[in-house]
Amino acid sequence: MPSIVLDREEEMESQTESVVASVRQDGASAEKGLAASDEPTSPVGKKWFLFGFGVLYMLFLLDFAARLGITAVFPAMQKDLGLSDSQVGVAGSAVLLGMTVFVLPFSFLADKGSKKHAVNLMSAVWGVGCTLCGLVSHLFLIVLGRFMVGIGNASYAPVSVSMLTSWTRRSRWGSVIGAYNSALPAF
């Protein structure tokens, strides 16, 4: 009976050593894979990176100005256009509705296509929406303009982060995204 227990213990010890060796081998493979994937997927030169980062940063900063800055003029718009509090609330919420509806489909399409063209298109839609808000004469144009601002904002931030991370090493992603997101408190 004791020999059966010893045989079973030796068998378990052998299996444990086999698993440990396998884990060590997989760990070494994973480290090699991580080192290889640290390279940027779409590397650009330092000048182009700084230029691209600057453009994306300024767009992100203006994005928040367009999204949140209009709330400062809502009381004047409400008085000039004779809007009720609920109508102003609808106008303020339209941007969030546009973002919510379009963030996933537009981000998916941008990821499958050209990110640069997606940012250009989103910026254009956002700009038209801002212009429409400046030309308001009634509630419908305000809501439509704010909704277009939301559509423009929908995939801009995810696509910008994707562009920035494709230009830099994985080990620098935190620094780059942190610097990019510093536009939030800057506004």
User: pTM for the whole thing?
Assistant: 0.72
Do 73 and 162 have their domain in common? yes
Low-confidence stretches of the chain (pLDDT < 50) are 5, 29-30, 34-35
Which residues fall within 8 angstroms of residue 58, CB to CB, at 6 or more apart?
Answer: none
- Domain assignment present for residue 187? The answer is no
Do 27 and 107 have their domain in common? no
- Looking at residue 39, the DSSP 8-state letter turns out to be S
Do 169 and 85 have their domain in common? yes
Distance CA 24, CA 19 (A): 9
Distance CA 25, CA 30 (A): 9
Do 23 and 112 have their domain in common? no
Task: Supply the pLDDT for residue 94.
Answer: 94
Do 68 and 93 have their domain in common? yes
Do 83 and 7 have their domain in common? no
Q: What is the pLDDT of residues 166-178, one digit of tens each?
A: 999 999 899 999 9
Could you list the beta-strand ranges (E) of 52-182.
none
Task: Supply the pLDDT for residue 71.
Answer: 83
Do 24 and 48 have their domain in common? no
Nearest Cα neighbor of 55 from 167, 170, 131 is 167
Do 59 and 96 have their domain in common? yes
Do 120 and 32 have their domain in common? no
The CATH code of the domain that includes 123 is 1.20.1250.20
Do 73 and 98 have their domain in common? yes
Task: Supply the pLDDT for residue 2.
Answer: 54
- Domain assignment present for residue 87? The answer is yes
- Domain assignment present for residue 136? The answer is yes
Owning domain of residue 144:
42-182
Percent of the chain scoring above 70 in pLDDT:
80
CB of 44 within 8 A of CB of 167? yes
- Domain assignment present for residue 113? The answer is yes
Number of domains observed in the structure of the chain: 2
Do 58 and 90 have their domain in common? yes
Which residues fall within 8 angstroms of residue 143, CB to CB, at 6 or more apart?
Answer: 90, 91, 94
